[in-house]
Structure formats: C-alpha cells, structure tokens
A and B are shown apart, each in its own frame.
With several copies, the nearest count.
Chain A
Amino acid sequence: MNLGLDVSDRDGWAVLAVSGEVDVATVPRLREELHRLVADGKHRIIVDLDKVDFLDSTGLGVLVGGLKRVRAHDGELVLVCTQSRVTKVFEVTGLTKVFAIHDSVDAAASSGG
C-alpha cells in the first residue's frame, strides 16, 4: 500500500512524517500510528503532510480524531503542509480554523502549540 509513515522526535514534539496516498484504504495505518503515539504518552504531535500526494475525507477524519485525543491530554496536534492540493481539502471543509498548518517542521516545532 502506497502510504509511508515515519516517526521522529524534535524539540519535545513527536513528528509523524506521512508520505504517499492517504485514502480510505490506507488510513487505518495512519489512525493506528496516531493512537499508538498518544498511548505512548506523546501528546504534542506534528503531522508532516508535505510528502502526501493525496488526502481524502477519511484522512481529515483521522486527523480530527487525533486532535481530539491529544487535547484530552492537554496536548496539541499541528500540521505541516505547503502543497495546495492537500491544504485545499482543509480549506473547503473549514478545518483550517481547527488546525494550525505550518510551512515546515521547524516552524511547527517552534510554534506555541
């Protein structure tokens, strides 16, 4: 399946770098990875979507779910994305008001969060 997931640490944030296609067929792996991070006590998460070629509504749903989970622990989940084809789906669903979307992992890591 054409989805890549890579986890690293950055200034107290867990960085989940996603690549490839996030659709209803691949999204269960993204959901599991987010749940695992939260279960491991990582409540400040940067999801880096810059290498994502495709993101559908189920991808949005899982990110909203992840945000709710970390907030339940007073945490934060922020996004990195510069590609308009991906940011567009956040815009048209009004989720740009819900997620902080940064231009780079650096910018995200130094954000208030």
Chain B
Amino acid sequence: MGEVVRVEIPPRLEYLALARTLVVAAAGMHGPWSGHRLADFEVAVSEACTNAVEAHRLVDQDGPIAIACVSHADRFEVSVIDRGPGLDAQVLRDLPAPSGPARQGREGGFGLPLIRRLADEVRFESSPSGTAVHLVLRRGDTRG
C-alpha cells in the first residue's frame, strides 16, 4: 500500500474547501492525471464530504470527518469517513440514473449521481455508526 495522507476536519461546510485543497495537492503529488480528470475527481470528493458533514448534523455528531488519501500503483484512492447514521442500502439502490427525468425536477439530490459519474469507482461501507465512501481515480485512464 502506498503512503497515506490523512486529514481530519470539523463537521462544518466551511471546511470543505480545505479538504478539497488537501486532496488535490495530495493527488497532484502522485500524478500526472490527464485532462481535467483530477478536477472531476475533486467534485466527487467534495460531494462525499458534503454528505459526511450532513450525516454528522443528523445525529448531532461533533467529531471530525476523516479524509484519507492513498496512492496505489494502479490508482489514487480517497476515503471519506464519517460517524453519521449510516447510509441506507435502499438509498443507493433507488438512485435514479443521473440524467433521468427524476433529477431535473428537484433542486437537490445531484450529489450521489455526481460521485458515481466523476469518480472512476466508488465503494460504500456503512453501518449504524458511520459511513466510509471510497473514491477511486484510476491511473492510465485517459477519459476526461
């Protein structure tokens, strides 16, 4: 496993920009990433962090949200770890297609679709004591 950079932020929206800055700097050290792939990935990471902050709010959890970055031979991986209520498997299953008609009527709910589309791979690990979202940026992928 590669070297890990880990940052912990208070569960407040004001810290999202800082988390993004850190992730972009860490990924930049382990690039290069073609085109705007890192910029796309940054959006996915930011959405996951937003959801983590909102998850902490739901359960009045003041503790930090952790963001861990690991560079592997084949990929750069960011894990966003919260201590919120956990993510219902149903939410993930019910997720409409990003460009489906259900999206456009609403003002919210674009987060998970963006995560799915802008990261090369996403894994959710969830329990009633929290959620970890693992976002993958693959090397050698020239999309973007």
A: residues with CB less than 8 A from B are: 2, 21, 23-25, 54-58, 60-62, 64-65, 84-85, 88-89, 92-95, 97-98
What is the predominant secondary structure among interface residues of chain A facing chain B? helix
Q: Which of A2, A54, A62, A88 contacts B46 (CB 8 A)?
A: A54
Whether B100 sits at the interface, judged by CB under 8 Å, is yes
26 contacts between A and B (CB under 8 A): A2-B17, A24-B16, A54-B46, A56-B47, A57-B50, A57-B109, A57-B110, A57-B113, A58-B110, A60-B110, A61-B106, A61-B109, A61-B110, A65-B107, A84-B36, A85-B39, A88-B40, A88-B118, A89-B114, A89-B118, A92-B114, A93-B98, A93-B103, A93-B114, A95-B104, A98-B104
A-B contact count (CB 8 A): 82
Picked from B13, B36, B42, B117, the residue with its CB within 8 Å of the CB of A24 is B13
Residue of A nearest to B42 (CB): A54
Task: Report A24 CB to chain B, min CB distance, Å.
Answer: 5
**Minimum CB distance partner of A92 in chain B:** B117
Q: Once the chains bind, are A23 and B110 in contact (CB under 8 Å)?
A: no
CA distance A88 to B114 in the complex (A): 10
Q: How far apart are the CA atoms of A65 and B100 in the complex, in Å?
A: 17
Distance in Å: Cβ of B70 to nearest Cβ of chain A:
20
Residues of chain B touching chain A, judged by Cβ–Cβ distance below 8 Å, are 13-14, 16-17, 20, 35-36, 39-40, 42-43, 46-47, 50, 53, 98-100, 103-104, 106-111, 113-114, 117-118
Q: What are the 4 tightest A-B residue pairs by CB atom distance, in nearest-first order?
A: A94-B99, A57-B110, A85-B39, A61-B107
- Using A56-B47, A61-B106 as known contacts, say yes or no to A25 and B16 having CB atoms under 8 A apart: yes
**Contacts A93-B98, A94-B104 given: A23-B114 contact, CB under 8 Å?**
no
CA–CA, A23 to B124, complex, Å? 23
**How distant is the Cα of A41 from the Cα of B16 in the complex, in angstroms?**
34
How many Å lie between the Cα of A98 and that of B39 in the bound state?
A: 23
Given A60-B110, A92-B113, A92-B114, are A23 and B98 neighbors across the interface (CB < 8 Å)? no
Q: Is the CB of A92 within 8 A of B118?
A: yes
B112 to chain A, nearest CB (A): 9
Could you say which residues of chain B place their CB within 8 Å of the CB of A24?
Answer: 13, 16, 50, 53
Q: How far is the CA of A58 from the CA of B36 in the complex (A)?
A: 21
> A94–B98 contact, CB under 8 A?
yes
Which one of A2, A58, A97 contacts B50 once the chains associate, using CB atoms below 8 Å?
A: A58
